[in-house]
Structure 1
C-alpha cells in the first residue's frame, strides 16, 4: 500500500465552505458569488454503487449518485461565446473563451459527469507520475484529492505537462481572493500559502448556454504529513484539521473504475446521509392522441365536471415529458428508476431502457373493474400499488422540472421523513361544491377528513413541485380512509367528492403523524404559460437558472394564443434541457441538437464566428440522436 510522505510542519490555512442559500418565494434568497460557487455531492451513494459493481471508466456512468446542489448560472447569460486568441495556445478546435476562461464545448456531459471526468483525469496524471494522494470526502460532500504539500513544485510541473493541451483551471479558495490559473501555465496560485483549490475544465453547452465552472469542480488540497500528526488546511466530512498519525489508518476504495487510497471510514455512510433508494413516478396523458380525445369525449357525455376540469389545457402536451425526464438525468442522477403511469401509447421518442418503465393502470389499480379512468386523483390514490416501486419515491407531473442540481436531502430526511413545500395560496373558506374545480374540491375534502381525524384545520395548498412519498405511509393512510380511497379510485372523471392524495392529503396526514415536515429550504417557481407574463418569466429563468424546481402549467384562461404558447414553451425547454438522456430513441427528429462540438449548433457557431476555429469533433461511441 502506498504511503504519503511526511514533510515538516507548516501553519494550516483555514477556508470557509460556502453552502447555497435556497429559499421559498416567501423568504430572502442570496445570489452572491459565494452561493454560485457552492457545490455538494453525496459520495456515500457512489460507494454503494461501486459495491454493486457500477463502473466509471473513460465514459462516465450516469448511475453514480454523486449529488450536485448548486446554481449553475446565477448571472444572466447575454452572450454565448466570444472568439479569442487565447484558445490558440491549445492545439484543438473544440474550445471557446467564455467569461475570461477557455472552455470546452460540451454536448453530453451532465454536471456530475463533468466533475467525474476531471477527477479521473487528475487521478491518472498523478498515478502516472508516481505522486501519492488520498481521496477524501469533503466537508460538504465535495470529492477532494489530498497531496503532500512538500511536493507542490513537482505537482505543478506534473499537472502542467499532463494538461498542456487541456483548459484545466485551479481556483484558490483560501487566502486572498484570486482568479483561477491554468494548470498548463505551471501555476496553482500566486499566494504561496494557498492550499485549497477547485480544479476543473470549464464547459459550455452551445444551445442553451449551460456552463460548468468552479461550482462543478472537485477540490484539491495540500496537506502536511508530519511524523506525529497530519494537518489538513480545512476540515472534511470525517476529520478535524489535525489528525494524530496513530489514528490515520489508510485503506483503498473502488470508485469510478479506479482504485483510490483513502482513510479508513472516510466513505462509510454517515448519520446525515440519505442513502436509501428513491424512485420517481410521473403521471402522463398524451392528450394529442385522437383515440384519447374520442374516448374521453364519449365517456364524458353523462358527466358534469367542475370549473376548468374539462379544459383541453389539462391534457395538451408538447413533449413536456421528454424534458421532465431530461431534468432528472441532468440534475437528479440519484433517482434509481422512473415509472410513467399512463394508458397512452409510449411516446415515440422513448426507447427501452432499464431505468424507465411504462406502467399501465391495470397493472397497479387494486380494483381493475373501475377502469378505464381519466381522473388523475384516481391514479394518485393507487401509486403505492406499483410493482417494484421503492419505499421512498417522488411523484410528479410532466409539467414539473428540476431546474438545477438537487440532492435527495431536499425531499427526505436520513430517517425517511418526507419534506413538502407549502404554497402561499390559501385554500379558502367554503365546502366542496360541484361548480368548483377538482383541485379546489379535493383540498376541501382533504381538509374535512383531517379535521375529523385530528381536530386540526389545513389552510394552504402545496406548491407545484415533485412530492416525496412513502408506500408504507400511503398504505396506512388508505387503511384510515378506505372508503375515500375506493370512491376516488372508482371516479372516472374528477368529482366534487374526490380526495387528492398527493396534494395534499398525504403530506398533512404525515405532518400530523410524524411522517412529514413542511420545509422552506427549496426555491421553486410556478409559471402559468398561457399568460403574457410567462414569456418574461421563462426568459429570466433560462438566463439565471436559479430555481431548484419549476412548473410550466397550461392554464385554462389564456391571454396568448396556443400557437405562441407552444412555440415559447418548446423553445424554452429545448434551451434549458439540451442534454439528451440515454433513454431517448436515436433517429427521432427533434428541433434542437444535442449541443456538442459535432452538433448542428456548433456548425452554426462556426459560421457565425469563422475565426474561432471550430471543427466538429467525432462523437463518442454511444449513439446520439440524429438531427435533421
Structure 2
C-alpha cells in the first residue's frame, strides 16, 4: 500500500479566452452569499511546471499523477510522459449541472472519483512544492494511518468585510463537526494568536487550520463523507464559486479521518508558506531559502498567490524564485527550446535582486 500513492493536482489557465467567457457567464448567476472571487485564485504563472520538477527531484515514490482541469492543458506539458494523466471536470462530476465549475472546494468533493486512483493519494494545488526528499512514510505511518499537518492558529472569521469566504467555509465545517461528531479534537493554541482573538470570542472556533501544503487523503474517507453529510457535500459540489454557505470539504475530509482514527494531526515546522503580505519580509525569506542547502530546507513549500499581490509583480518574483530552486526540466515537460521558458539568474523582483 505504501508503494501505491498517487498525486492529484488542480490546475487552471485564466488566460484562456474560452475559459474567461465561461467564467463571465457564471459570475452573472452568483448571489449575495457568493462574493466575487479574487483574481489570484485563478492566475497561472506556470507554477505547475516547477511543482512537477519538485516531484521528479524529491518524490520518486509517487505512482501516478493526475491533473484535473477544465478542458485545458498546459502548452509545455509532455503528452508522452508516463504516469501523468489529464482529467477533465466532466469525467469526475456525477452531475453535469455542476459545470462549469470555478471552485476548488467543489472539485475537492469529487476528486476521489478519478478512475484508477490509489486508496491513499496526495492532493496539491499547483503552487505547492517538495523542497526536500520525501517518502511515503512522511504521509503514512506503518499501520496505514495518515499524517496530517496542522497549524496552531485557531479557525476564525476575519474582521475585514472583503475577506475570502474560505473563512466562513472553515467555520461551517467546524460547526458541522461539533453538531454531528462532538468534541473529538483537542486543538493546540498559538499563544499570540489566542491573545489577539480573545476580545472577539464569537468569531473563532477551537479547531486548528490544516496546513496549506501537500496533504494526504483517503478515497474511503471521501466516500464516507458523502454518505454521512450528503446535503452539505452536495451544496459544496454545486457551488460555481466559493460560497459563504458551504463547508470546507478538504478540511472536513482531514478532520473526519482523525475522528475515524484513520489519521493523526502533526504540528511540525517542516513546511513553509510564503505570500506577499510584507514585501521586505518576503524577499528576506526568499534569499534565505535560496541560500539554504537543499538538505536543510523544510520538506514542503507553498508560494501562495493572493489578493495582497494585486499591485505586485508576483509572476516575475515567482518565476525567478522557482528557477533558482528547481532549475532542471523534468520528463513532464516538452524538450523543444520554444516550449521551455528560461530565466537568467540576474532577474530582479520589483527592482530588488534576490
Contact 2:5 2:122 in 1 (8 A): yes
**2: CA distance between counterparts of 1:559 and 1:369?**
33
- After TM superposition, give the deviation of residue 453 of structure 1 in Å: 1.5
CA distance in 2, matches of 1:401, 1:445: 29
CA drift of 1:591 comes to 3.5
SS of the residue aligned with 1:568? Answer: helix
Matched, 1:543 2:291: yes
Matched, 1:454 2:204: no
| SS of match in other structure, 1:303 | coil
**1:279 corresponds to 2:279:** no
- How far, CA to CA, are the matches of 1:307 and 1:370 in structure 2? 15
Residue number in structure 2 paired with 1:569 = 318
Alignment of 1:394 onto 2:125: no
1:510 offset after TM fit, Å? 1.2
Aligned to 2:342: 592
The whole-number CA distance in structure 2 between the counterparts of 1:490 and 1:434 is 24
Give 1:406's aligned residue.
134
Matches within 5 A, 1:344-383: 344-352=71-79, 353-383=81-111
Q: Output the CA distance in 2 between the equivalents of 1:554 and 1:585.
A: 26
SS at match of 1:302: coil
Q: 1:299 to 1:307 in 2, by over 3 A?
A: closer
Q: CA RMSD in A?
A: 2.5
User: How big is each residue's C-alpha offset from its partner over 1:430-462, in whole Å with a ceiling of 9 and x where there is no partner?
Assistant: 9xx996522101101111111011222752111
Distance 1:325 1:458 in 2: 36
Number of the residue aligned with 2:43: 316
Report whether the alignment pairs 1:511 with 2:290.
Answer: no
In the alignment, does 2:218 pair up with 1:470? yes
Aligned counterpart, 2:143:
415
Structure 1 gaps, min length 5: 1-273, 594-599, 602-628
Aligned counterparts of 1:414 and 1:568: Cα–Cα separation in 2: 40
The counterpart of 1:534, out of the listed 279, 282, 286, is 282
Q: TM-score, normalised by structure 2?
A: 0.83
For the structure 1 residues 538 and 471, does the alpha-carbon distance in structure 2 shift closer, same or farther, using more than 3 Å as the test?
same
Instruction: Tell me the CA shift for residue 276 of structure 1.
Output: 3.5
Give 1 or 2 for the bigger CA radius of gyration: 1
String of CA shifts for 1:7-39, please: whole Å, max 9, x gaps. xxxxxxxxxxxxxxxxxxxxxxxxxxxxxxxxx
Deviations 1:272-298, CA, capped at 9 Å, x for gaps: xx7340000001111122222222122
For 2:171 and 2:226, the matched residues in 1 are separated by: 18
Q: Match of 2:8, SS? A: strand
1:520 — aligned with what?
267
2:187 maps to none
**1:479 equivalent in alignment to 2:206:** no
Cα distance in 1 for partners of 2:232, 2:150 equals 23
Provide the rounded CA distance (Å) in 2 between the counterparts of 1:313 and 1:399.
12
Kindly indicate whether the alpha-carbon contact (under 8 Å) linking 1:307 and 1:437 is maintained by their aligned counterparts in 2.
no
Q: In the alignment, is the contact (CA less than 8 A) between 2:34 and 2:244 conserved in 1?
A: no
Matches within 5 A, 1:60-71: none
Cα distance change, pair 507–294 in 1 and its aligned pair in 2 (3 A): same
- CA offsets 1:155-197 (integer angstroms, 9 cap, x no match): xxxxxxxxxxxxxxxxxxxxxxxxxxxxxxxxxxxxxxxxxxx
Q: 1:557 aligns with which of 308, 315, 319?
A: 308
Q: 1:309 to 1:302 in 2, by over 3 A?
A: closer
Provide the TM-score with structure 1 as the length reference: 0.48
Count of equivalent residues = 318
Q: How does 1:106-255 map to 2 (within 5 A)?
A: none
Change (3 A) 1:373 1:312: same
- Listed as ranges, the gaps of 5+ residues in structure 2 are 184-204, 346-354
Question: Are the equivalent residues in 2 in contact too, given 1:578–1:592 (CA < 8 A)?
Answer: no
Tell me: CA distance 1:374–1:572, structure 2 relative to 1, closer, same or farther (3 Å).
same
SS of aligned partner of 1:334 = coil
Larger proportion of helix: 2
CA-CA distance at 1:424 after TM superposition:
2.6
